[in-house]
Structure 1
Amino acid sequence: MSEVKKIATRASYGSALVELGKEHDDLVVLDADLAAATQTGMFKKEFPDRHIDCGIAECNMVGIGAGLATTGKVPFVSTFAMFAAGRAYEQLRNSVAYPHLNVKVGATHGGISVGEDGATHQCCEDFALMRAIPGMVVMSPADDIEAKAMVKAAYEYVGPVYMRFGRLAVPVINDRPDYKFEMGKGIVLREGKDVTIVANGLCVAASLEAAEKLAADGIDAKVINIHTIKPLDEDLIVTAAKETGKVVTVEEHSVIGGLGGAVCECLSEKAPVPVKRIGVNDVFGESGPAVALLEKYGLDAEGIYKQVKEFV
C-alpha cells in the first residue's frame, strides 16, 4: 500500500478544528502544552484568542473545558490519550460526563503506534475507560477523511465525546463519493460469507488488506469499520454474525474492554457465535518503531491474516 496517500489522523484533527473554527465562533480549543504534537497548533495560529494552553495540567484543562461549556462554548480539550483518558479520568467522569456537559476530547497518540515514546505513553486502555463512563460517546477514525467527518459530527452532537487520533500516518481508504459518516453507525467495506472482521482505527486498512490475502486462500471475509465504539451499531454486528457465523474484532487497544469487549457483550446476548479478539493481549507496549511494533503485536495485515485464517 506504499502508493496510497497516508495521513496521520492527529493532523486531520488539527485541520478539522481550523475549518470548524471558521464556521463557528463558539468553538474553543484547549491544549496541555502539546499543541505541536496534537496538531492543535494549526488552530492556535488561525484563532489565537480561542486557543488556551493550559500547560502540563490535564485535570485542570478538563475543568476549564467544563466551565466553558456551561457558558455556551463548545470546548475541544486536547492531549495525548494516556493523559486524557488516564490522568484526567476523574474530571471527565465527574466534571464533564456526570452533568452531561458539551465537552469534546481530542485524544491523540493512542495505542502502540505511538512508537518510540514507549509503554508509558502507549495508551491501550482508553476505549475501556471511556466507554464505561455513562453518556460518553467513544470514537476512533480509520483515516483522514473519517477523522475530519468525526470532528464535525462531534461538534454537532450535544454532550461529551471522546475521540482517539493516531500519530502514525495511515492510508486514506474512504476517498469515495458515497462515503458517509454517521455517529453510531458502522460501515460495511467488504462483503463476505465466511467470517466477519470488525475493526476500527488504523486496523481497518490492515483488515482490508488481510481480507484480500484470505480471499486468495478461499476465505471470504466481510469487513466492517466500527468507528463508533459507543454507542455500538449492534444491529449491524448481529446481522453480520448471523450471516457469517464467526466474528473477529481487530483494534489497537487491549483485548479487554474495548471494541472486542463491546462486540462480545452484544453477541453473547443477541447472537452467540464464536468470536476472536485481536489486539494487545493484556500487556504494556514497548519502545520501538511504530510499524515494527504493529508487526510484533500481530496488528499488521500479515498478522491479522494469519490469526483470522487460524480461527476460521
Structure 2
Amino acid sequence: MKAPRDAFGEALALLGEDYPDLFVLCADLAAATKVGAFAKKFPERYLNTGICEQNMMSVAAGLASEGLIPVASTFAVFAAGRAFDQVRQSIAFDSYNVKIAATHPGLAVGADGAIHQCLEDIALMRSIPNLRVLCPSDEVSTAGALKAALKNDGPFYIRIGRAELPKLYDDTFDFEIGRSYILREGTDITIAACGIMTYRALILADSLAKDNISCEVIDCSSIKPFDTKTLLESARKTGCVMSIEDHSRFGGLGSCVAETLAENFPVPLKIKGTDDRFGDSGDRESLFNAYGFAIEDLAETVKRLINKSKKFG
C-alpha cells in the first residue's frame, strides 16, 4: 500500500537526475505534495513561491519560456480553481512545457472538507485547449504518468491521489498517454474508472461475480487524450457501461465516456460521480458511502443498468 502522492515525490527526485532542466515549484505545500525529496536533492532547482498559486503558474510559464521543464505542484483545488486563468492564459495558450502536478483531489481528501475537495478539476482542465489530463490509479501508474509527461513536450495536468492504495500494476508497466487499460475482462457490463475509483471498481467486480455478473473493468487513466478504441470495443462486447470517478458527474470521465458512446455506439450508460453538490468533512469511506459510492449501492446500480440493457438490446 502506497499513496500515489508518495510515488510522485519519489519519482520526481529520481527524474531530477535524468532531466537537468527539471525545475520544481511548490506553493508552500512540500510536505503534503511530497516534493520535499526533490528540494533536498536539488535545492538550486526548487522554489517555494508561497501561498500564491496564480503567481506560481505564471513563474512556471516564464521558466518554460526559457527552456526549463517546470513541475508546478499544489492541491487540485488551487491548481485548477484558483489558478485557472494563469493555466489557461500563461501556460496552455502558448503550449508551454509545464507539468502541473495536482494532489489531494476529490472526496478522498476526507476531513479537510468541501473547500479542499476539488470535484471540478477534470472538467475545468480538460476544457482548456492544448492541455493533456492524466488521472493515474496507483503508485506505479503515477510514476509512469509523470515520466510520460516529462518525455512529451507541452502542458499536462496530472491528478494525483492522497490516499494509500494497493498496487494495480507491476514495476514493468509502461504508462502510455492516450491509452486505457483493461484490468479485468468481462461480458455483462463495462466499468470505466480512474484514480482511486479504479481499485473500487475491481472490488465491485469481485462482489458482483458472486451473483454471476461478469464485469469488464477499464482503467481510464488518460482522460485527455481519451482512448475511444478500448472503450468502444468493450461496449460492443458488454452492451452497457458505467463510469465511476471521485469527481463531479459533470464534465469528468463520465462525460468523456458519454461523448464517445453518443457519437459512435450508443448503449445504456450510468455516470457515477458526485451530484450537483459540494463535498463535506468526514473520513474517506463514510464520505464515499454518503455520496453513493458504497459497494452495495454501486452493485444495485449495475444490476439495474444490465436489466435496462437487455430491454435496450
CA contact (8 A) 1:140 1:164 kept: yes
1:87 corresponds, among 70, 82, 90, to 82
Distance 1:169 1:162 in 2: 21
Structure 2 counterpart of 1:33: 28
In 1: Cα distance, 2:270 partner to 2:170 partner: 29
C-alpha displacement of 1:291: 2.2
Whether contact under 8 Å (1:81, 1:164) holds in the other structure is yes
Deviation by residue 1:2-50 (Cα, 9 ceiling, x = unmatched): xxxx111111111111010011110010000111111111111111111
- Secondary structure of 1:229's aligned partner: strand
Does residue 280 (structure 1) correspond to residue 281 (structure 2)? The answer is no
Deviation at 1:294, TM superposition (A): 1.7
Task: State the shift of 1:280 in Å.
Answer: 0.7
Which residue number corresponds to residue 310 of structure 2? none
Match of 1:200 in 2: 194
Residue pair 1:201, 1:227 contacting (<8 A) in 2 also: yes
Give the equivalent residue in structure 2 for 1:171: 166
Identify the residue that residue 188 of structure 1 maps to in structure 2: 182
1:15 aligns with 2:10: yes
Aligned counterpart, 2:243:
249
Q: How far apart are the structure 1 equivalents of 2:5 and 2:295?
A: 22
**Matched residues in 2 for 1:278 and 1:95: separation?**
33
The 8 Å contact of residues 197 and 224 in structure 1, kept in 2 or not, is answered as: yes
1:49 aligns with 2:40: no
| Equivalent residue, structure 2, for 1:311 | 305
Question: In 2, Cα distance between the equivalents of 1:247 and 1:310?
Answer: 12
1:203–1:300: 8 Å Cα contact kept in structure 2? no
Matches within 5 A, 1:128-277: 128-175=123-170, 177=172, 179-277=173-271
Contact 2:113 2:281 in 1 (8 A): yes
What is the distance in 2 between the residues matched to 1:11 and 1:133?
28
Shift in alpha-carbon separation, 1:45–1:176, aligned structure 2, 3 A: closer
1:295 aligns with 2:289: yes
Q: 1:70 to 1:83 in 2, by over 3 A?
A: same
Q: Distance in 1 between matches of 2:305 and 2:224?
A: 26
| CA–CA separation in structure 2 for the residues paired with 1:302 and 1:172 | 24
Please list every run of 5 or more consecutive structure 1 residues that lacks an aligned counterpart in the other structure.
Answer: 1-5
Root-mean-square deviation (CA), in Å? Answer: 1.1
Aligned partner of residue 165 in structure 2, secondary structure = strand
Which residue number in structure 2 is paired with residue 101 of structure 1?
96
Shift of 1:295: 2.2
Deviations 1:85-106 (A, max 9, x none): 0000000001000101000000
- One-letter identity of the residue aligned with 2:135: S
The CA distance in 1 between the partners of 2:95 and 2:18, in whole Å, is 24
Contact 1:207–1:304 (Cα < 8 Å) also in 2: no
1:28/1:73 contact within 8 Å kept: yes
Q: TM-score, normalised by structure 2?
A: 0.95
Q: What SS does the aligned partner of 1:7 have?
A: coil
Where do 4+ consecutive residues of structure 1 move more than 4 Å? none
Equivalent residues of 1:14, 1:40 under 8 A apart: yes
- Residue 176 of structure 1 and its aligned partner are, at CA, apart by 6.1
Partners of 2:268 and 2:305 within 8 A in 1:
no
The one-letter code of the counterpart of 2:27 is A
Scaled by the length of structure 1, what TM-score is found?
0.96
Q: 1:64 aligns with which of 37, 59, 62?
A: 59
What are the ranges of 5 or more consecutive residues in structure 2 without an aligned counterpart? 307-313
Say if 1:206 and 1:300, in contact at 8 Å, map to a contact too: no
1:202-254, CA deviations, whole angstroms, 9 ceiling, x for partnerless residues?
Answer: 11111011111111101111110000111000111111111111000010000
**One-letter identity of the residue aligned with 2:85:** E
For residues 98 and 44 of structure 1, do their structure 2 counterparts lie closer, same or farther at Cα, with a shift above 3 Å needed? same
Cα deviation, residue 300, structure 1: 4.6
* Counterpart contact for 1:203–1:299, Cα < 8 Å: no
Partners of 1:8 and 1:169 within 8 A in 2: yes
- Tell me the distance in 2 between the aligned counterparts of 1:303 and 1:72: 50
